[in-house]
Amino acid sequence: MDGYYHSADLARFPEMGKGNKELWEKFSAYYAAVFAGGALTEREKALIALGVAHAVQCPYCIDAYTQACLEKGSNIEEMTEAVHVACAIRGGAALVHGLQMRNVAQKLSM
Amino acid sequence: MAVAVSLSLKARANPLEFAAEQLRILSEPSNLPAFDEKVRSAGLFPLTATGITVFQINVGKLCNQTCHHCHVDAGPDRKEIMTRETAELCIHALAQTEIPTVDITGGAPELNPNFRWLVEQARALGRHAIDRCNLTVLLLAAQADLAEFLAQHRVEVIASLPYYRAAQTDAQRGAGVFDKSIEALRKLNALGYGREGTGLVLNLVYNPVGAFLPPKQESIETQFKRELERQHGVVFNRLFTVTNMPISRFLEFLLQTGNYEGYMERLANAFNPVAAAGVMCRYTISVGWDGTLYDCDFNQMLELPTGFGAPRHIRDFDAEALNRRRIITANHCYGCAAGAGSSCAGSIT
């Protein structure tokens, strides 16, 4: 993660509050509420977050939610499956757009 | 990533075998406030005992396993074990008090020839007895009747099982340990341990297989119960979550894998004043294999005996003086005060 991203910057995330305290506080409260146990457990939410982190390819989120998943009691097999879910959705999203390609090709072709 | 360990630090002549070297490292993490500063900011300084309810006896470093994270640096190559004379001093001291619980640990405490005598004496005094068991010891040929002995004396078994799957458990405790642990748990279940209505208590201990904090105790307990029963037909009473202490062989792991500073930061950032107020040293006295007194088993391994004028040897045991003693602390204490807190009885908050 050396280069554009720096691991140490994750701990500086709250500095975003310096630009707009009110929005940061609203975001922080919302974020905390989202990840609290509810209909889904904290462990399940961390696994979802890990998958999404890979889908959006956020290195900070990958660091944070790998650790969070371990600290919620998940194991490497479950975490790997979460990443595969992200992979399948991203890959599937590309592939299903093949229908757009087919629609356009069909319209243009004799 | 697991560090290959088959011998103790001492047998490998690793500098970390010395408490002074561990304390030197623990005093030096960059950007880490001293533990006492955090205690002071929580209004708890100086940390003092609140009265002893647990008499913990570490009967020695001999063990049939060499776990990667062991804070005792125990193993088959360690020969330090409590003599009968010291065990008798423990029982003599215990008899002068009304401390309700005797917690016997090691190494594998059952390998000490005086273990069963200690259990019998503690029970004869009407005290609750705990055996901190590594499970595989129950399968040793020389210990074939151990499980029956524990059941006969109504000993609470607190057994190490860091995860409900083999890969993680074996990574920490050694190849094949998970399967043997399951076999031992079935043996205990067959005697009634962990089953409702028997009064035979079987509690398990989870500790993280790596440089991270444990999950919420009730959450991981639910997972353990579901998976152990579904996959192996094993039942137990409660799961205790314990944080790995940054000492001894776990410290070696942290240093070798480049996780030391990050782990210490994680512990310090997760400092919880409520957990700090309930740390086990406040209600425990820990007796070493040679009779030296400590505030806890971790201080014992760091060779930090009771201080500030409190008695330092079991022969000088004075409950009055020890009940209100000031606790010796250092940066390893972050391990007990992080997150939900950690103690020999699991999370604190």
Min Cα distance A59 → chain B (Å) is 17
Q: How far apart are CA B300 and CA B286, in angstroms?
A: 8
> Percent of chain A at pLDDT above 70?
98
- Write the CATH number for A49: 1.20.1290.10
**Domain presence at residue A8:** no
pLDDT, mean over chain B: 96
Q: Chain B residue with minimal CA distance to A66?
A: B212
User: Residue B140: is its pLDDT beyond 70?
Assistant: yes
Q: How far apart are CA B68 and CA B336, in angstroms?
A: 20
B205 contacts: CB under 8 Å, gap ≥ 6: B158, B159, B160, B161, B162, B239, B240, B241, B242, B346
Please report how the helices A98-108 and A76-96 are oriented relative to each other, as an axis angle in degrees rounded to 10.
Answer: 10
List pLDDT tens digits, range B220-254.
Answer: 999 999 999 999 999 999 999 999 999 999 999 99
Q: Spell out the domain ranges in chain B.
A: 15-337
**Domain presence at residue A29:** no
Count up the domains in chain A and report the number: 1
pLDDT at B5: 53
Q: Omega into B46 within 30° of 0, i.e. cis?
A: yes
pLDDT at A3: 84
Partner residue opposite A43 with nearest CB, options B208, B212, B219: B219
**Domain presence at residue A96:** yes
Give domain B15-337's CATH superfamily.
Aldolase class I (3.20.20.70)
List pLDDT tens digits, range A33-84.
Answer: 999 999 999 999 999 999 999 999 999 999 999 999 999 999 999 999 999 9
Q: Residue B6: which pLDDT band, with cuts at 50, 70 and 90?
A: confident
The answer to whether the Cβ–Cβ distance between B215 and A73 falls below 8 Å is yes
Whole-model pTM: value is 0.92
**Domain presence at residue A57:** yes
**Domain presence at residue A101:** yes
The answer to whether the Cβ–Cβ distance between B167 and A75 falls below 8 Å is yes
Six-digit token string for A92: 């599937």
Six-digit token string for B210: 């790596």
Burial class (CB within 10 angstroms; exposed 0-12, middle 13-18, buried 19+) of A56: exposed
Six-digit token string for B228: 């152990």
**Domain presence at residue A86:** yes
Burial class (CB within 10 angstroms; exposed 0-12, middle 13-18, buried 19+) of B53: middle
List pLDDT tens digits, range B193-212.
Answer: 999 999 999 999 999 999 99
Amino acid identity for residue B11 in this structure: A
Chosen from A1, A10, A40, A43 to mutate, greatest number of chain B CBs within 10 A? A43
In the block, residue with structure tokens 């089953």: B195
pLDDT at B1: 39
Burial class (CB within 10 angstroms; exposed 0-12, middle 13-18, buried 19+) of A93: exposed
Measured in whole angstroms, how far is the alpha carbon of residue B43 from the centre of its chain?
Answer: 27
List pLDDT tens digits, range B97-112.
Answer: 999 999 999 999 999 9
Domain around A92: 40-108
Nearest to B105 by CA among B184, B158, B47, B42: B158
User: Residue B321: is its pLDDT beyond 80?
Assistant: yes
Which chain B residues in 249-288 lie under 8 Å from chain A, judged by CB atoms?
Answer: none
**Domain presence at residue A12:** no
**Domain presence at residue A27:** no
Nearest to B19 by CA among B10, B28, B31: B10
Q: How far apart are CA B77 and CA B10, in angstroms?
A: 9
Chosen from B212, B231, B242, B266 to mutate, greatest number of chain A CBs within 10 A? B212
